């Protein structure tokens, strides 16, 4: 079984305000992405030091605070009942439920992780699927002081899903980290009649 988790514990330094709660149509970033994950059998919310609550999601605080997305992943995998978790950060508001299930289905027995790769060749490990069996190596890495997501990914048997070979556009994985990027997103959404 593959569960789903929303990474919502970031500090939003570049945005200057909490990205989770930014308005996106009639919802917030957090609520919009949560809706894309609503039909996964297990749904978790990584909250860091914050106290977010989402209906239908179980909040999971950081076991090792201050370790970034890799620390959030460790906490989520430690808590989950699922054999694997799809994780999605709160700052990719164009992420879709269809892409979520596509990535989950790509986790076949030979892989420990699945990550999407945009057409520019960039891997997106914060939008990946990870088996619970990676926990011992993940814990050892964090305890050694290494919180680098890409370094951890390089240690796994990873299926890299090139979006170029799928119907999904790269913009599904666009991070919205700054006020300028947020303004551009809202302008694009308005022009494209997303709402």
Could you give the number of structural domains in the chain? Answer: 1
Q: Is the dihedral of CA 61, 67, 73, 74 positive or negative?
A: negative
Question: CA dist 118 to 9, 45, 77, 107, 162, Å?
Answer: 24, 25, 25, 18, 6
Residues 6+ apart with CB under 8 A from 64: 71, 74, 75, 142
Q: What percent of the chain has pLDDT over 90?
A: 65
| Most confident of the ranges 4-13, 47-56, 167-176 | 167-176
Q: Is the pLDDT of residue 9 over 60?
A: no
Q: Structure tokens of 114?
A: 């699945």
Q: What SS3 class is residue 44?
A: strand
**Given pLDDT bands bounded at 50, 70 and 90, which one contains residue 12?**
low
Count CA atoms closer than 13 A to 5's CA, side-chain side.
36
Report the alpha-carbon distance of residue 3 to residue 89 in Å, rounded.
15
DSSP-assigned beta bridge partners for residue 159:
114
What are 120-140's pLDDT values in tens digits? 999 999 999 999 999 999 999
Give me the pLDDT at residue 49, please. Answer: 60
Give me the pLDDT at residue 25, please. Answer: 81
**Given pLDDT bands bounded at 50, 70 and 90, which one contains residue 47?**
confident
CA distance from start to end of the chain: 33
Q: What is the arithmetic mean of pLDDT over 97-121?
A: 97
Range of the domain at 27: 2-192
Q: Is the pLDDT of residue 192 over 50?
A: no
Give me the pLDDT at residue 193, please. Answer: 37
List the one residue out of 38, 30, 78, 79 whose CA is nearest residue 56. Answer: 38
Give me the pLDDT at residue 26, please. Answer: 82
Q: Would the pTM count as exceeding 0.85?
A: yes
Give the least confident one: 47-61, 79-93, 178-192. 178-192
Report the alpha-carbon distance of residue 91 to residue 29 in Å, rounded.
7
Judge whether 131 and 87 are in contact, CB under 8 Å: no
| Most confident of the ranges 23-37, 56-70, 81-95, 173-187 | 81-95
Residue with tokens 């913009």: 171
Pairing relation of β-strands 27-28 and 58-61? unpaired
Question: CA dist 42 to 12, 53, 67, 167, Å?
Answer: 26, 15, 24, 26
**Given pLDDT bands bounded at 50, 70 and 90, which one contains residue 191?**
very low
CATH number reported for the structural domain that contains residue 126 in this entry: 3.90.550.10
């Amino acid at each position: 079984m593959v569960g789903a988790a929303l990474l919502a514990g970031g500090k939003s330094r570049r945005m200057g305000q909490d990205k989770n709660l930014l308005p996106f149509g009639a919802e917030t970033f957090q609520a919009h992405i949560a809706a894309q994950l609503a039909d996964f059998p297990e749904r978790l919310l990584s909250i860091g030091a914050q106290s977010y609550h989402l209906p239908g999601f179980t909040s999971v605080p950081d076991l090792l605070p201050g370790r970034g997305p890799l620390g959030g992943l460790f906490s989520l995998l430690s808590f989950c009942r699922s054999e694997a978790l799809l994780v999605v950060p709160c700052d990719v508001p164009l992420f879709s439920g269809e892409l979520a299930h596509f990535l989950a289905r790509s986790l076949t027995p030979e892989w420990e992780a699945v990550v999407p790769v945009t057409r520019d060749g960039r891997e997106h490990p914060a939008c990946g699927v990870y088996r619970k069996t990676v926990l011992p190596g993940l814990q050892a890495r964090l305890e050694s002081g290494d919180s680098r997501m890409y370094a951890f990914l390089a240690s796994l048997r990873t299926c890299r899903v090139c979006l170029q070979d799928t119907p999904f556009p790269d913009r599904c994985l666009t991070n919205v980290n700054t006020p300028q990027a947020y303004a551009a997103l809202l302008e694009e959404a308005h022009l494209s009649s997303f709402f």
